Structure 1
Amino acid sequence: MRRLARNTLAALAFCGALASVPQFAAAAPNCTSDADYLVVEVPHKDDAGNSYIVRDKAAHPKAACSTKAAKGDYVIGGADDALYLLKLVGSTLLIDSGTGPDRELEIYDLKTRKLVYSGGYDSDTIAIDAAGASFWTPSGAEATAANCPDLAQIEKDGLTPVVDVKARFDFAGNTLEKSSETHCRATQ
């Protein structure tokens, strides 16, 4: 059987049939960079999301945009993690996590190589600047008619009401400050 397959391939190649088959180059990796770090997005082959390889440019001045992890790289995520890059700001990496409409925000301090914040957030309203990120996050308060004016309609639509609080994450101190401002939104 192998000989037949080899002979068939040889005959096709001789006839020029294989030359007409399009050849596709592997897609170039998607990389994000700033003065200090190079972040390489590694798409998951059979699952949603990506993993990320972080290269410190001080340790590797000629950091390459390659999906092969090297000694000294910091790898965030694995095959089961549906992660999506939001933004690299200095030594802070912001990642969106999840596959459904309810999202998680993960914030990493690349200097310490630690996850410094993880929590639910309203991905439609996040604002990221050089000093921090502002977003709505679940407050933990029970939705009532007093704090959720659309409570009856949300429940009628078969959705879940969530009372969010406005929060600000400060990159310099790796701290989260919650305001007293709240709103109610529908989630699945």
Structure 2
Amino acid sequence: METPSQKHQETIRAHIADGETAIDACTTEQETYLVTARRLLVLTHSDRGNETTTVESTFFDAIGGIEIHHRRSSGPDELSLVFGILALIVGLLSLALLGRVDGGEAAIIVLFGLGGAVIGILAILDAYDTDEGSVSVDLLTTEGDSVRNFTLHEDYLEFAETISKTAADTHPSRVRKKRTVSG
């Protein structure tokens, strides 16, 4: 997990109130996220011509719920992988037989061998061309409307869980009032 740069840490410190506790942070290419005991701060970095930083703050006591969707990255396509390995083996075996054949048959075997090898390599490469996993976080009002949503790489699942736990710990419904019942 990438940590905020020194410059971004200074910007974050300027927005943290005295006594506010930072719990966790993560940085993507364009944004820095910071979870404190009371809120989520999002610093958006832009460097088009002149550098700008936008800071948004969402207080957890205003949140009614959080939805976290974890989409796992997919592994290699096994069928393409098996096909690619078989095509590559057949292509290489055809090329290995080249020394035992003369004339016009040799040209056919070369074409077959090279074609099989190329198709095999392309199929193997395609088998590993898979989607990366992601974690989507959606902060909701008590009515279910989205206050803030963002998507992070799958590696940031633990950070998303920290947001959820912190919001649950600071939610007004967690504060239990004492009631005296007399009988």
TM-score w.r.t. length of structure 1: 0.21
Return the structure number with greater strand share. 1
Query: Relative contact order (C-alpha < 8 Å, sep 6+): which is higher?
Result: 2
TM-score w.r.t. length of structure 2: 0.22
Structure index of larger Rg: 2
Return the structure number with greater helix share. 2
